[in-house]
Amino acid sequence: MKTVPHWIGGKPFGDAAGASGTWGPVTDPATGEVTTQVAMAGADEVDAAVAAAKEAYATWRTSSLAQRIAILFRYRELLSTRRDDLAALITAEQGKVHADALGEVARGLEIVELACGLGMALKGDTSTEVSSHVDVASVRQPLGVIVGISPFNFPAMISMWMFPMAIACGNTFVHKPSSKAPSASMLLAELAAEAGVPDGVLNIVHGDEVAVNALLDHPDVAAVSFVGSTPVARHVYSRASASGKRVQALGGAKNHMLVLPDADLDAAADAAVTAAYGSAGQRCMAVSVVVAVGSAGDALVSRVAERATKVKIGPGNDPTSEMGPLVTKAHRDEVANYVAGAAAQGADVVLDGRDFTVEGLENGHWMGISLLDKVSTDSDAYRNEIFGPVLCVLRAGTYEEAMRIINGSPFGNASSIFTRDGGAARRFQLEVETGMVGVNVPMPVPVGYHSFGGWKDSAFGDHRMYGSEAVHFYTRGKVITSRWPDRPEVAAGPDLGFPASH
Ligand code: NAD
């Protein structure tokens, strides 16, 4: 059986499981078979990875920006030529269809490209002659060893949100990917080494909460970037900041799409099906709730149902499949329970995906498409993140009622409005309490040079991912005030007063 070891100091680490580690199973979601054993780190492996990163930091931080950028350019090219291989690894362990996995790699590449142009973002500011013969310069410097912890649903892209920007800024990195889908991160590390990233600059430890907590507590770790579910994001944020680390922790989501009666309802239905069921709903930007106002409700539900029944579900490596399986059997069963619970709590089950299976692959983690209408705000299916192919429709009488529902959610990742009314759209942009907003766009995933992050329980900490926010997160400011004794009046003897500008 294939094994996935840690990656420390530029090579696979030791006897893979290491001294204090164990092995964990990785399953192909389409077949339900365990295909791989992944090394699960304990404290020893975490110590080894952080030590390698700390040692590499001493020279990497003083390497020139030109050297770092040249490596990142080579990395970008290697990644681009290996897109298909990366996508195949994602499909084999996460389950999403190949085209979707290619899209994930493309969005990750955007951030590597952003890192290639980091010179503009890293340049500081200088003020000359702020006082007599005094200049002031603001510069930004790296932090040291950064830890990145990522979820199963984007095994390549979210890693690429983190380490390319962090290492371009002069930091070194220890990555802890999801042990459910660890192989893509190994190919990312191998290609980084091939591109010239020095040993120890990028390290990977696999594992679960044991590895995560050892990283959060480690005294040689300066900062933590996390993406995952809300309870774990909250834990990571409080535990790592308790030991003085800088932390950004992006959490779960329940993204709402508000549809007004004047919207193009065919376009809105296309968007709802795309955003609710793409990647089997396992996206933090998935639309999981539609709030339909007035007469939009019936018209929209029938259009969504008509389109959703045509979605072809099958293994991700079949080019005709549009939606793949769920990541694990346990997750599949949890999602199915929400559909059962919603029916018991009064929702109309318009489409029920619980009995779906694929012939010949009956042990796969299959779940068909579910569409729940007239869902109440106090039902479990509405209150919790389901993270599966289940779309909840809520009905509202007015825009104001719809907005109260949306802003009443504890999650604040993304939202969107579908309307032809520019005034309503503008009001929505100003009033909605989410970090990302779409207008007639269901999944407003920002491009690389903007930044990604939610509000409320969808993100902890003050920094968003990528864009200029990543430069701020992965560096710290330093302000240098200098005077050169090139004039006789400067050497005027001691002056114990507080220095004033003149
Ligand atoms: P998860 O929170 O279970 O796991 C995320 C990471 O934390 C993994 O590396 C995992 O090994 C580790 N982990 C899990 N439990 C832990 C614990 N108790 N203590 C310490 N570490 C722990 O998330 P997941 O199931 O892998 O991913 C899905 C979740 O991620 C969803 O909630 C989704 O909304 C969220 N997500 C958010 C974003 C975003 O940008 N906001 C993007 C993608 C996914």
Asked if residues 276 and 319 have their Cβ atoms less than 8 Å apart, the reply is no
User: CA of 11: how far to CAs of 14, 104, 201, 438, in Å?
Assistant: 9, 26, 11, 43
Report the chain's terminal Cα–Cα distance, integer Å.
Answer: 74
Question: Which of 104, 212, 215 for a ligand 1 pocket mutation test, highest count of atoms within 8 Å of Cβ?
Answer: 212
| Residues listed for the chain | 502
> pLDDT for 126-184, tens place per residue?
999 999 889 999 999 999 999 999 999 999 999 999 999 999 999 999 999 999 999 99
Per residue in 35-74, pLDDT (tens digit) is 999 999 999 999 999 999 999 999 999 999 999 999 999 9
Q: Which atom of ligand 1 is nearest to the CA of 284?
A: 34
**Rounded Cα distance, 89 and 16, in Å:** 19
What atom in ligand 1 is closest to the CA of residue 228? 30
- Does domain 2-251 bear CATH number 3.30.43.10? no
Q: Determine the residue of 93, 152, 234 to mutate for testing ligand 1's pocket, defined as the one with the most ligand atoms within 8 A of the Cβ atom.
A: 152
| Band of residue 498 on the pLDDT scale cut at 50, 70, 90 | confident
Q: Residue 149 C-alpha to ligand 1 middle, in angstroms?
A: 8
pLDDT higher than threshold 80 for residue 487: no
Quote the CATH superfamily of domain 255-439.
Answer: Aldehyde Dehydrogenase; Chain A, domain 2 (3.40.309.10)
| Best probe residue, ligand 1, of 208, 229, 455, 458 (max atoms within 8 Å of C-beta) | 229
Question: By alpha-carbon position, which residue is closest to atom 27 of ligand 1?
Answer: 151
Residues of the chain with CATH 3.40.309.10: 255-439
Domain with CATH 3.40.605.10 in the chain: 2-251
- Measure 333 CA to ligand 1 centroid, in angstroms: 18
Ligand 1: which residue has its CA nearest to atom 10? 178
- Provide the residue type at 136 as one letter: V
Q: Please, what sign has the CA dihedral across residues 390, 396, 402, 407?
A: negative
Determine the pLDDT at residue 132.
Answer: 86
pLDDT of residue 496: 86
State the CB neighbour count (10 A cutoff) for residue 398.
11
- Protein residue with its CA nearest to atom 34 in ligand 1: 252
What is the rounded distance in angstroms from the CA atom of residue 316 to the CA atom of residue 24? 23
* Residue nearest atom 43 in ligand 1 by C-alpha distance: 284
The proportion of the chain whose per-residue pLDDT surpasses 70, expressed as a percent, equals 97
In this predicted model, which residue has the larger pLDDT, 473 or 493?
473
The pLDDT value recorded for residue 21 is: 67
Q: What percent of the chain has pLDDT over 90?
A: 93
Ligand 1 neighbours, Cβ below 6 Å, are 149-154, 176, 178-179, 208-209, 212, 227-229, 232, 235, 250-253, 284, 385, 387, 413, 454, 458
CA 81 to centroid of ligand 1, rounded, Å: 29
pLDDT at 17 over 50: no
Rounded Cα distance, 289 and 394, in Å: 7
CA of 226 to the centre of ligand 1 (A): 8
Shortest-distance Cα residue to atom 40 of ligand 1:
250
**Burial class of residue 62 (count of CB atoms within 10 Å of its CB; 0-12, 13-18, 19+):** exposed
Active site residue 116: no
Ligand 1 atom having least distance to the Cα of 459: 41
Give tens-digit pLDDT for 222-275: 999 999 999 999 999 999 999 999 999 999 999 999 999 999 999 999 999 999
Question: Residue 356 contacts by C-beta under 8 Å, 6 or more apart in sequence?
Answer: 313, 366, 367, 368, 369
Rounded to the nearest whole angstrom, what is the distance from the C-alpha of residue 251 to the centroid of ligand 1?
Answer: 7
Q: Name the residue of 94, 237, 284 to mutate for ligand 1: max ligand atoms within 8 A of Cβ.
A: 284
Residue in the structure block whose two tokens are 């009443």 = 408
Instruction: Tell how far the Cα of 368 is from the centroid of ligand 1, in angstroms.
Output: 23
Atom of ligand 1 nearest to the CA of 179: 11
According to DSSP, the residues that pair with 139 across neighbouring strands are 478
Which run of H or of E encompasses 393? strand 390-396
Cα separation, 247 vs 237, in Å, equals: 6
> Average per-residue pLDDT in the chain?
96
How far does the centroid of ligand 1 lie from the alpha carbon of residue 332, in Å?
Answer: 16
228 Cα: distance to centroid of ligand 1 (angstroms): 3
Banded pLDDT at 500 (limits 50, 70, 90): confident
Higher pLDDT, 299 or 16: 299
Give the residue whose CA is nearest to atom 18 of ligand 1. Answer: 209
Helix H or strand E segment including 241: helix 230-242
pLDDT level of residue 495 (50, 70, 90 thresholds): confident
Q: Give 269's contacts (C-beta < 8 A, 6+ positions apart).
A: 300, 303, 304, 306, 307
Model confidence pLDDT, tens digit, residues 350-377 = 999 999 999 999 999 999 999 999 999 9
